[in-house]
Amino acid sequence: MTVPSSSPVAVADAAAARGDLPAAVKAYQQIVAADAASEEAVRAKEHAVLRLGQLLRDQGAAADLAALQTQARPFLISLPKAKTAKIVRTLIDYLSEIPNSLDLQVAACKSAIDWAEAEKRAFLRQALETRLAAMYLDNKMYTESLALIASLLRELKRLDDKAVLVDVQLLESRVWHALRNIPKARAALTSARTSANSIYCPPLMQAALDLQSGVLHAEEKDFKTAFSYFYETLEGYSSQDDARAVLALKYMLLCKIMLSLPDDVTALLTHKVANKYTAIEVDAMKAIATAMQQRSLLDFERSLTQYKAQLHDDPVVRLHLSTLYDTLLEQNLVKVIEPYARVEVAHVAEMVKLPVAQVEQKLSQLILDGKIKGVLDQGVGILVIFDEVKDDATYTAAIDTIKKMGTVVDALYQKAATLS
């Protein structure tokens, strides 16, 4: 907005521009507290509310930002409903970007919902309740989230508001996935896709649907299909310059690793869509892929420690970490015992730097699964590995021949019985 250089807004903007945040915050607070009599004063106050919210977010002042929402409500009543909804949602978005403020976010969102209901702002209330359900999910309050979602679904189906309905059904799918109820998560996602097919689906919404589809296919170990969905997600987010494109790329790399194709990770990162993303999430997956290539359990564990926030703290990646670890442990054990016909279990444990009991248990499992041809002599702690013996097809062929001869003899007997 264009304002005279001597106006309070210009003074506050100038203070913010030169980095004098305390002075800028104080100036904006004065504008917010003042009455807005003219149209220009209303625009200035609207600008001050949003800029003050940004500064409080940057300072991490969660309590002050929550108080700003309450303070601005008398002014927001005088604005058009669409603009009011935008400002309220923006302030809550700013609050959500402040770390370790989830409890305050929930309280602020509940307060805003009560205010919207009192002012009969139905669409704003629905948007805020959807956001509150997502906050419950982030806070692992699944029962509360599902109860709120059920109430929203009943209301939205009655109003036939498909755009918000898709968001709520997608959120329901995410909640059921967090609860490890995959059938219900898939059913909710199917409902969301059905609703999306009847309206214009914005690129970001379509990308979110594809992302959830990929996550659920990965749950069912169908990593090829999951990869294709994550690729669609990457293209959707990339076309809108959305930061979540990096997340889609990370899950694509995860699929390649889970398919035992770590060599494809480097080739994938040279793709025209993927090569512009160099975030730490990509580095984490490259480190895991390198560990898989070298079948190095030590490098794998080192990567988990180094990139804990990107790997272990990601619920989707964390679900597959144990499978990745078991796969890599198997490959590592096979790599260690390859040169031997007889080897001490203690030596194998020393090579992979794991307890003897754990290595012995894993070797037993590999023998039972037929992945290692051998036997464990637990009395002396030795693994005896058998030579690879090719199957002799003579016995099988002989049995088949005898069966066919028996069939011919039976047929001849029946014909002879008929003739006599």
Nearest in space to 303 (alpha carbons), one of 329, 325, 320, 323? 325
Q: Rounded to an integer, what distance in angstroms lies between the CA atom of residue 363 and that of residue 42?
A: 74
Q: DSSP state, 78?
A: T
Q: How far is CA 286 from the centre of its chain?
A: 18
Nearest in space to 196 (alpha carbons), one of 185, 187, 209? 209
Nearest in space to 234 (alpha carbons), one of 281, 194, 189? 281
Predicted TM-score of the model (pTM): 0.77
- Supply angle C-alpha 393, 398, 401, rounded to 5: 125
What DSSP string describes 83-146?
Answer: HHHHHHHHHHHHHHTSTT-HHHHHHHHHHHHHHHHHTT-HHHHHHHHHHHHHHHHHTT-HHHHH
What does each of the 420 residues of the chain score in pLDDT, given as a tens digit?
A: 444 455 777 887 888 788 777 888 888 888 888 877 778 888 888 888 888 888 888 888 888 888 888 888 888 888 888 888 899 989 998 888 888 888 888 899 999 999 999 988 888 899 999 999 999 998 888 999 999 999 999 998 888 788 889 999 999 999 999 999 999 999 999 999 999 998 888 999 999 999 999 999 999 999 999 999 999 999 999 888 888 888 898 999 999 988 888 888 888 887 777 777 777 888 888 888 888 888 777 888 888 888 888 888 888 888 887 788 888 788 788 888 888 888 888 888 888 888 888 888 888 888 888 888 888 887 888 888 887 767 677 888 888 899 999 999 988 888 888 876
